[in-house]
């Protein structure tokens, strides 16, 4: 796997470590569960900066039952949801890894304090979807490669460039704004 | 006042007017607002009763200003969103400081 970071990012001189998360790790990071957990694996994750992920699309996905009964295509909004979940992984990784002065438990590199709050509670909401273009149908058997690069932040909002591809073909790309943190 | 000084002031005022108009057009384009730049006044509030921007729009403006002028607006710079004049003042202050 190429060590290059997502979306043609320049190599950072401080060379932050890139992390990988398996499905079970992701379940500890995100509040989503079946049938709405739409990312199987994350890799090349630079906490709070960028990452890549995989969503394998099976014919058993519940949405194919109705979208459409005789023509199985993954709804575009669910591709966006998969992208947004990768963004949440990149964001939560910043908290769990305690990098970049992220909010979270104080202390030097101290992983997994037992009393640490559930990091999945810091996953916020989708604020906007803009310039999203869907370039290819996504059908059973496809493996979506997701990419996200977090951009500017203002208050609790963060802009993110996202894309999803199948093999070498672009499936969708655009810009999201996500909120950090949940309303209680 | 000498003619040279007067001309200088006039040149700067025209440049400022052009920049205000450009910023108004960019905001309207970026946010997809249904107004003409000419009806947006320089001191009209961007939030609330003015252009009715919300916090998501604010982030759009931050990205737009950064792309166009290479000026970064952070959480502490909320005075930049007071009006078109306040935003252009902010951009010009940062450009002068750079």
Question: Which DSSP state fits A6?
Answer: G
The reply to whether A71 belongs to the active site is no
Which CATH number applies to A18-180: 3.90.226.10, 2.40.50.100, 3.40.109.10, 3.10.129.10? 3.10.129.10
Please indicate if any CB of chain B lies within 8 Å of the CB of A127.
yes
Q: What percent of chain A has pLDDT over 90?
A: 72
Q: Which helix (H) or strand (E) holds A176?
A: strand A169-180
Digit-coded pLDDT (tens) for B10-32: 999 999 999 999 999 999 998 88
Nearest CA of chain A to the CA of B53: how many Å? 14
Is this prediction's pTM over 0.80? yes
Residues 6+ apart with CB under 8 A from B9: none
Choose among A38, A44, A122: nearest CA to A80: A38
Digit-coded pLDDT (tens) for A70-97: 999 999 999 999 999 999 999 999 999 8
The domain spanning residue B59 has which CATH number?
1.10.1200.10
Number of domains observed in the structure of chain B: 1
pLDDT over threshold 50, residue A114 = no
Residue A14: the pLDDT is 59
B74 neighbourhood in chain A, CB within 8 Å: 154
Q: Which helix (H) or strand (E) holds B56?
A: helix B55-69
Q: Is the Cβ–Cβ distance between A5 and A46 less than 8 Å?
A: yes
Q: Could you tell me the residue ranges of all domains in chain A?
A: 18-180
Digit-coded pLDDT (tens) for A138-157: 999 999 999 999 999 998 89
HSE-up (13 A, CA, CB side) for residue A124: 18
Range of the domain at B23: 3-97
Residues 6+ apart with CB under 8 A from A124: A88, A156, A178, A179, A180, A181, A182
């Amino acid at each position: 796997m190429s060590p290059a970071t997502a979306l043609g990012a320049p190599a950072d001189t401080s060379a932050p470590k890139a992390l990988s998360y398996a499905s079970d790790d992701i379940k500890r990071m995100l509040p989503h569960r079946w049938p709405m957990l739409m990312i199987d694996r994350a890799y090349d994750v630079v906490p709070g900066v960028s990452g890549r992920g995989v969503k394998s699309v099976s014919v058993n996905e519940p949405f194919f039952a109705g979208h459409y009964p005789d023509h199985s295509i993954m709804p575009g909004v669910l591709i966006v949801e998969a992208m947004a979940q990768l963004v949440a992984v990149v964001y939560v990784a910043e908290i769990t890894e305690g990098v970049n002065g992220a909010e979270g438990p104080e202390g030097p590199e101290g992983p997994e304090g037992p009393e640490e709050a559930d990091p999945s509670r810091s996953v916020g909401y989708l604020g906007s979807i803009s310039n999203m273009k869907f370039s290819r149908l996504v059908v059973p058997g496809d493996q979506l490669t997701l990419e996200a690069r977090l951009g500017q932040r203002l208050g609790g909002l963060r802009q993110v460039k996202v894309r999803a591809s199948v093999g070498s073909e672009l499936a969708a790309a655009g810009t999201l704004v996500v909120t950090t943190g949940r309303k209680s | 006042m000498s003619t040279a000084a007067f001309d200088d002031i006039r040149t700067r005022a025209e440049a400022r007017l052009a920049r205000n108009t450009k910023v108004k057009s960019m905001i309207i384009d970026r946010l997809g607002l249904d107004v003409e730049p000419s009806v947006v006044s320089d001191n009209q509030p961007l939030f609330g009763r003015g252009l009715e921007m919300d916090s998501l729009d604010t982030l759009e403006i931050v990205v737009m200003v950064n792309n166009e002028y290479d000026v970064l607006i952070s959480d502490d710079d909320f005075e930049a969103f007071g009006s078109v004049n306040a935003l252009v003042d902010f951009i010009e202050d940062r450009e002068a400081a750079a």
